[in-house]
Amino acid sequence: MSGQPLLVTERLLLRPFSLADAPAVQRLAGDYEVASRTLEIPYPYPDGAAEDWIATHRPGFEKGMHAIYAATLAPDGDLVGAVGLVEVNRRHGRAELGYWVAKSCWGQGYATEAARAMIEYGFSVLGLHRVYAMHFSRNPASGRVMEKCGMMREARFRGHARKWDVYEDVDVWGVLHDDWRKRCTEPAIRECRVR
Ligand SMILES: CC(C)(COP(=O)(O)OP(=O)(O)OC[C@H]1O[C@@H](n2cnc3c(N)ncnc32)[C@H](O)[C@@H]1OP(=O)(O)O)[C@@H](O)C(=O)NCCC(=O)NCCS
């Protein structure tokens, strides 16, 4: 299987994480404002956890389980955040979209730009039928990103997930390939560099 392609968007380069990114991941994802809004990111972020997470990316990609990207600012390469498709399920033709953006970069459209590229990747490269995403209901900014990506809010699951011993309501969003084709006239990925 060929390696994970690089994806170029209007302002971002999406590339695989390397172990050299681990300190930045620990610092940026380990920010309370970021960690507290995601299901899995711990706080405080333990030493070694970023390295362990990054080490799962390549084998998982090669097995077709996920495609996880570092979103970096083109051309200087600063890490802005992470975006990915996880829980890729070939039988059902679906995957779950996830992302986080460094606090200092919020409000500049980076999550939307990166998420749109991942959705397009899911449909045009992975051949998926559906991309879905979930956010804590108390985190409407993430819902707004999903809305701007052309996803539809499908449900609110009450008390669906436990974060730090609190049961949280979760909003579920989704987009089907047909909806995407109809709604998205501008390509989100400007270049897909297969390595
Ligand atoms: C959610 C997150 C990814 C958004 O990143 P971002 O780069 O700031 O997103 P964008 O700039 O593309 O879009 C954010 C949108 O949310 C809106 N927004 C911000 N705070 C909001 C709020 N409290 N209520 C509603 N909308 C809000 C912004 O105004 C913007 O919409 P607009 O373009 O219509 O003005 C970022 O805040 C983050 O990483 N949060 C912590 C981790 C997280 O929540 N990950 C997602 C888990 S599901």
Closest ligand 1 atom to Cα of 41 = 42
pTM of the predicted structure, to 2 decimals: 0.98
Alpha carbon of 145 to ligand 1 centroid (Å):
6
**How high is the pLDDT of residue 70?**
98
**How high is the pLDDT of residue 98?**
98
* DSSP at 63: T
- Any idea which fold 6-193 has? Aminopeptidase (3.40.630)
Alpha carbon of 34 to ligand 1 centroid (Å):
11
**b/e map 110-128, b = 16+ CB within 10 Å:** bbbbbbbbbbbbbbbebeb
- Write the residue with the smallest CA distance to atom 1 of ligand 1: 142
Residue 80 CB partners (closer than 8 Å, separation 6+): 12, 71, 72, 73, 101, 102, 105, 110, 114
- Write the residue with the smallest CA distance to atom 5 of ligand 1: 111
**How high is the pLDDT of residue 76?**
82
**How high is the pLDDT of residue 75?**
78
- Write the residue with the smallest CA distance to atom 32 of ligand 1: 144
**Mean pLDDT of successive 10-residue segments in the chain (195 residues)?**
89 97 98 98 98 98 98 92 98 98 98 98 97 98 97 98 98 97 88 89
* Sequence ranges of the domains in the chain: 6-193
Sign of CA dihedral 175, 180, 186, 190: positive
Q: Which ranges of 30-75 does DSSP label H, i.e. alpha helix?
A: 32-35, 49-62
Paired residues of 94 in beta bridges = 89, 130
